[in-house]
């Protein structure tokens, strides 16, 4: 039998893990609530109206605060706060605005978690990522990869309606282990 392929090491970037929840799916919202309660997680909800309408100076200050937290190794959860009756028609506008808003923070990332297909695509495009090398699976259907392109960090992606309320927490713990202990993956 052929020998198994050698494990690939996953190296993290310089800072903390950025978790971005743009999905409207109930399971992603429940996972974000559980992750927000994690003691070492900075939860930053962002209102859809603000995301689309905020002025340039206000957006820059907001992103600088996120980048500063990431730069010192803090993990940050950015969640689009949709409220009780979200407007599904603006989903792609929100994803695009979120990608543009967070792009300046990219150099400070140690790792990235993105949930919601449009959200992940917008972030990766704005971060200069032109591909992913899949490395492992955190749980069935939740992949661990490494970004390719201008930004090279570990990434966990998941579809918005996929997983459980513990999925984001497991992903962040896995990425923390990579950042602090290295990865034999």
What class is the 17-181 domain? alpha beta
Q: Does the structure show a pLDDT above 80 at 54? A: yes
pTM of the model as a whole: 0.88
How much is the mean pLDDT over the chain?
86
pLDDT of residue 3: 39
Distance CA 66, CA 115 (A): 18
pLDDT in tens, 10-51: 666 678 999 999 887 788 889 999 999 998 899 999 998 898
Contact 29, 89 (CB under 8 A): no
Higher pLDDT, 94 or 62: 62
- 9 — pLDDT class (breaks 50, 70, 90): low
Average of per-residue pLDDT across 68-76: 94
pLDDT in tens, 77-104: 999 887 665 565 677 888 899 999 999 9
Distance CA 25, CA 168 (A): 13
Secondary structure of residue 17 in the 3-state scheme: strand
Could you state, in order of their start, the residue ranges of all structural domains in the chain? Answer: 17-181
pLDDT in tens, 125-158: 999 999 999 998 888 889 999 999 999 999 998 8
């Amino acid at each position: 039998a052929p020998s198994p392929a050698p494990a690939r090491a996953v190296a993290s970037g310089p800072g903390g893990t950025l978790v971005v929840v743009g999905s409207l799916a109930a399971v992603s919202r429940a996972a974000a609530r559980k992750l927000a309660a994690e003691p070492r997680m900075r939860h930053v909800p962002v209102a859809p109206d603000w995301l689309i309408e905020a002025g340039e100076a206000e957006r820059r200050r907001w992103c600088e605060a996120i980048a500063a937290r990431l730069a010192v190794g803090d993990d940050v959860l950015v969640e689009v706060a949709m409220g009780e009756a979200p407007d599904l028609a603006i989903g792609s506008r929100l994803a695009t605005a979120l990608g543009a808003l967070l792009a300046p923070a990219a150099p400070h990332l140690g790792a990235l978690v993105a949930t919601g297909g449009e959200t992940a695509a917008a972030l990766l495009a704005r971060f200069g990522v032109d591909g992913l090398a899949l490395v492992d699976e955190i749980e069935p259907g939740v992949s661990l990869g490494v970004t390719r392109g201008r930004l090279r960090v570990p990434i966990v992606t998941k579809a918005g309606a996929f997983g459980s309320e513990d999925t984001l927490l497991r992903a962040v713990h896995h990425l923390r282990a990579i950042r602090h202990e290295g990865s034999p993956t």
